[in-house]
Amino acid sequence: MSDTTRDAKPGYATETILTHSGRRPPDQFGFVNTPVYRGSTVLFESLDAIENQTAPYGYGRVGNPTSRSVETLISELEGAEGTVLAPSGLAAITTAMLAVLSTGDDVLVTDTVYDPTRRFCDGLLARMGITTRYYDPRIGAGIEELMTDKTRLIFCESPGSLTFEIQDLPAISEVAKRHGALVMVDNSWASPLFYRPLALGADIVVHAGTKMFVGHSDAMFGTASANAAAWKQLYDGHRQQGMFTSPDDVFLAARGLRTLAIRMKEHQARALELARWLEQHPLVEQVLHPALESHPDNALFKRDFSGSGSLFSIVLENRPRAAVAALVDGLELFGMGYSWGGYESLFLPIRPHRARTVTSWPEDVCMFRIHVGLEDIEDLKADLSAGLDRYAAITG
Ligand SMILES: Cc1ncc(COP(=O)(O)O)c(C=O)c1O
């Protein structure tokens, strides 16, 4: 199994873990950071060494000091027994699901799940004889009614990354435990800085590391971490699938992670300020941000999260396509693109009604998902304000 040695002393705050865990300068000739270790073959010094497998690394695919430094750091942040890395967030999710599921199993997945996760469940998992049923993200303890003796996994994403429902994870986990099912949580939005799913009863936590961990839109990356109960299955499944993540990307993730705390706090402050400002704008019908008092899950959010992410959505009165084009095409600071989590702001038209099957969402609304980057907040407001003026000007 991979070394889960805790490098920082227990009891340190998250900011200290982020800066000190997972690196050991004496092992790197005093250099502060663990460099990029590229390689496949690892040479053994003697017959004893190869027979007894005492060396820390035996073959490139199975790990190297670059990957291990980030595994150690994430495990410590999430309070996990161990962590595996993946070449994208989606790969972390699919690897972890395949590691714990077998033909005949039943999976419960939140209806607000990231759409490619849904496609994996409805595609590959279905072909393998694993059924997926979707549930209302606000179901809470009511999930009990959906449990069968085949239910092996409950997948949560809190908040949902388009419509931002918060899930009652302790209630769901309590039901899962009684039924012998595992709980897996996509924690990409809050990061371990603001949300600790394993401490709330989950067994596996996954991250689209492409987002906040990398933080600079320059690498693809994912992680899956498990508690003691699920770790062996996750580790074995990851290894059996031959999953390997480029050390160059892992290095970029490590570099991003060192400043995660300071970036998350800046993203949080700007996103909240922009969300509150948009709430007052006459064209904005609704702002979907769980840290706002107006959000239906705000009490649950305050109970379980210690902070909020960079991402939220807004609803505008539906207008012709030309109005939407006038808004988005003229934006100077907000870019339009998939993903999020980088230092630069994004503004993306979204159609949530297309990606759900058991809960409804109106079709005739105009929605945008906003990732608030690290630009000056007044510049961001001015850019959006001008965009909303262009939107209003089309229909008067
Ligand atoms: C909530 C969430 N989970 C998972 C993913 C998948 O991550 P990746 O794009 O790195 O595969 C994304 C990507 O947008 C996401 O937003």
Q: Would you please indicate which residues are annotated as catalytic (active-site) residues?
A: 61, 114, 186, 211
Question: What does the pLDDT read at residue 5?
Answer: 41
161 confidence band (pLDDT: 50, 70, 90): confident
Domain boundaries, the chain: 14-258, 261-393
The residues pairing with 155 across neighbouring beta strands, listed in sequence order, are: 109, 184
Cβ–Cβ < 8 Å for 27, 37: no
Q: How far apart are CA 328 and CA 349, in angstroms?
A: 8
Question: What does the pLDDT read at residue 9?
Answer: 56
Mean pLDDT along residues 166-192? 98
- Pick the residue whose CA is nearest to atom 7 on ligand 1: 89
Taking alpha carbons only, the member of 362, 368, 261, 366 closest to residue 311 is: 368
Q: How far apart are CA 232 and CA 103, in angstroms?
A: 19
Mutate to test the pocket of ligand 1, among 161, 313, 340 (most ligand atoms within 8 A of CB): 161
How much is the pTM?
0.96
- Pick the residue whose CA is nearest to atom 10 on ligand 1: 89
Question: Which atom of ligand 1 lies nearest, measured to the CA of 91?
Answer: 11
For ligand 1, say whether the CB of 164 is within 6 Å of any of its atoms. no
Cβ–Cβ < 8 Å for 159, 189: yes
> In 10 A of CB 79, how many CB atoms?
14
Helix (H, G, I), strand (E, B) or coil at 303: helix
Cα Rg for the chain, rounded, in angstroms? 22
CA of 223 to the centre of ligand 1 (A): 11
* CATH superfamily label, 261-393: Aspartate Aminotransferase, domain 1 (3.90.1150.10)
Mean pLDDT along residues 238-253? 98
pLDDT at 331 over 80: yes
Mean pLDDT along residues 181-192? 98
Q: How far apart are CA 164 and CA 308, in angstroms?
A: 11
CA of 158 to the centre of ligand 1 (A): 13
Question: Which atom of ligand 1 lies nearest, measured to the CA of 93?
Answer: 4
Tens of pLDDT along 57-99? 999 999 999 999 999 999 999 999 999 999 999 999 999 999 9
Q: What CATH class has 14-258?
A: alpha beta
119 confidence band (pLDDT: 50, 70, 90): very high
For every residue of 225-265, which 3-state class applies, written as one string?
EECHHHHHHHHHHHHHCCCCCCHHHHHHHHHHHCCHHHHHH
225 confidence band (pLDDT: 50, 70, 90): very high
Higher pLDDT, 244 or 396: 244
pLDDT at 3 over 70: no
Question: What does the pLDDT read at residue 395?
Answer: 76
Q: How far apart are CA 5 and CA 20, in angstroms?
A: 13
Mean pLDDT along residues 103-121? 98
Question: What does the pLDDT read at residue 10?
Answer: 66
